[in-house]
Structure 1
Amino acid sequence: MDKLQVLLSKGYFPKELPPPFITEDFGKYARELLAIWAANGPLKPGHAKHQRVWEISETEPELYSTPKAKNERRQLHITNPVPQLLLASVMTKNWATISRWLDRQRFSFSRTMISSKSNRAIEEPDFKSNAVHKQLIRATYDVEVKSDVLRFYPSIYTHSVPWAAYGKERVKKNRKKYNDSLGDRIDVILRKCNRGQSVGIPIGPDTSRIVADILSGYIDSRLMLRTGLQRGAADRLQDDWVIGTETVGDAERLLSALRTTYLEVGLEIHGGKTSVIGIVDNVGTPWVHTLQVAARIGPELSGIALQNFCEVALDLQKQNPVDRPLRYALSLIQGSEIKVPDASYLQSFLMRALMVDPRNIDLVSALLINMRHEGRTIHESLITKRLTSIIKGGLERGEHYEVAWAIFLMKGLALPLQLGAQAALLAKIESPAICLLILDMSSRGLAPEAPIRDWERRVKAVSADGPDWLLAYEGVRHGWLADITGAIRADPMLKPFFDRNIVFYDDKRNVPTTKKAVRTRRARSKRLTTAMLWRIITSKYI
Structure 2
Amino acid sequence: MLQTDIAQFYPSIYTHSVPWVLHTKAVAKAATQNMALAGNVLDKELQACQLGQTKGIAIGPDTSLGIAELLLSPLDERIRVECNPVGGCRFIDDIELTFRTLADADKALTRIEALLGELELQPNALKTSISELPVALESWFVTSLRANLPASMDASKSQWIDYFNRAFELARENRSAGVLRYAVAALSGVRPSDSCWDLAQRLMWQCVTIDPGCIRHVVDVIATYRQLAQKVPDCNIAESAVDSVIRSSATAGHASEVLWSIWAAMYIGFHIGPESQNSIAGMDDALVASAAMFASTSTPVFSQPFDSPIWKSWLQQDCFLEDRWLFVYEAYKRGWFAAEVATSQIAQDSNVAFLNGVGVTFIVDNAHTNYLPQSATSGGGGGGGY
Shift of 1:160: 0.7
Q: How does 1:138-287 map to 2 (within 5 A)?
A: 144-172=1-29, 174-175=30-31, 180-227=36-83, 229-230=84-85, 232-280=86-134, 285-287=139-141
SS of 1:235's equivalent in the other structure is strand
What SS is found at the alignment partner of 1:344?
Answer: helix
1:503 maps to: 361
Give the distance between the partners of 1:398 and 1:464, measured in 2 at CA: 23
Query: 1:519 — aligned with what?
Result: 378
Answer yes or no: is the 8 Å Cα contact 2:188–2:224 preserved in 1. no
Q: Which amino acid aligns with 2:254?
A: E
CA offsets 1:490-510 (integer angstroms, 9 cap, x no match): 321111233333332234312
For the pair 1:332 / 2:163, whether they are aligned, the reply is no
Q: Using a 3 Å threshold, how does the CA distance of structure 1 residues 406 and 176 change in structure 2: closer, same or farther?
A: closer
1:352 and 2:209 are equivalent in the alignment: no
Q: Which has the higher contact order (CA 8 A, sep 6+)?
A: 1
Q: 2:345 aligns with which of 477, 487, 500?
A: 487
Instruction: Write the distance in 2 (CA, Å) between the matches of 1:423 and 1:295.
Output: 37
8 Å CA contact retained: 1:152, 1:267 = yes
Structure 1 residue matching 2:367: 3-state secondary structure: coil
| Alignment RMSD (CA, Å) | 3.1
> Given the alignment, which residue of 142, 166, 170 partners 1:288?
142
CA distance in 2, matches of 1:216, 1:491: 38
Consecutive unaligned residues of structure 2, counting only runs of 5 or more, are none
**CA gap 1:460/1:368 in 2 versus in 1, 3 angstroms:** farther
Alpha-carbon distance change, 369 to 220 in structure 1, aligned in 2, over 3 angstroms: closer
Distance between the aligned counterparts of 1:197 and 1:480, measured in 2? 31
Distance, in Å, in 2 between the alignment partners of 1:285 and 1:502 is 42
Distance (Å, rounded) in 2 between the aligned partners of 1:401 and 1:322:
17
Contact residue 320 and residue 329 of structure 2 kept, 8 A: no
Matched, 1:408 2:267: no
Cα separation, 2, equivalents of 1:171 and 1:179: 11
Aligned to 1:529: none
TM-score, normalised to structure 2, is 0.85
The answer as to whether partners of 2:153 and 2:191 remain within 8 angstroms in 1 is no
What residue number does 2:322 align with?
466
Tell which deviates more after alignment, 275-284 or 206-215. Answer: 275-284
**Per the alignment, do residues 283 and 212 of structure 1 end up closer, same or farther by CA in structure 2, a change over 3 Å counting?**
closer
Residues 385-443 of structure 1 show CA distances to partners (whole Å, capped at 9, x for unaligned) of 221121111111110011111122223344332344x7654443211221122223433
Rounded to whole Å, the distance in 1 between the matches of 2:96 and 2:313 is 53
Question: Contact (CA 8 Å) 1:456, 1:484: kept in 2 or not?
Answer: no
Is 2:239 the counterpart of 1:384? yes
SS in 2 for 1:243: strand
TM (norm. structure 1) is 0.62
Are the aligned partners of 2:155 and 2:193 in contact in 1 as well (CA < 8 Å)? no
CA–CA separation in structure 1 for the residues paired with 2:250 and 2:130: 41
Residue 251 of structure 2 corresponds to residue 396 of structure 1: yes
The AA in structure 2 aligned to 1:205 is P
> 1:369: Cα distance to partner?
4.9
Q: Percent identity?
A: 23
User: 1:351 offset after TM fit, Å?
Assistant: 1.5
2:161 alignment partner, SS class: helix
For the residue of structure 2 that corresponds to 1:266, the secondary structure is coil
AA partner of residue 215 (structure 2): I
In the TM superposition, residue 344 of structure 1 has moved relative to its aligned partner by 0.6
Q: Give the drift of 1:147.
A: 1.7
Distance in structure 1 (CA, Å) of the matches to 2:254 and 2:362: 22
SS in 2 for 1:323: coil
> Which one-letter code corresponds to 2:182 in the other structure?
Y
In structure 1, give the amino acid aligned to 2:371: P
Kindly state the Cα deviation for residue 302 of structure 1 after the two structures are TM-superposed: 5.8
* Counterpart residue identity of residue 404, structure 1: L
The SS at the match of 2:89 is strand
8 Å Cα contact 1:156/1:199 also seen in 2: yes
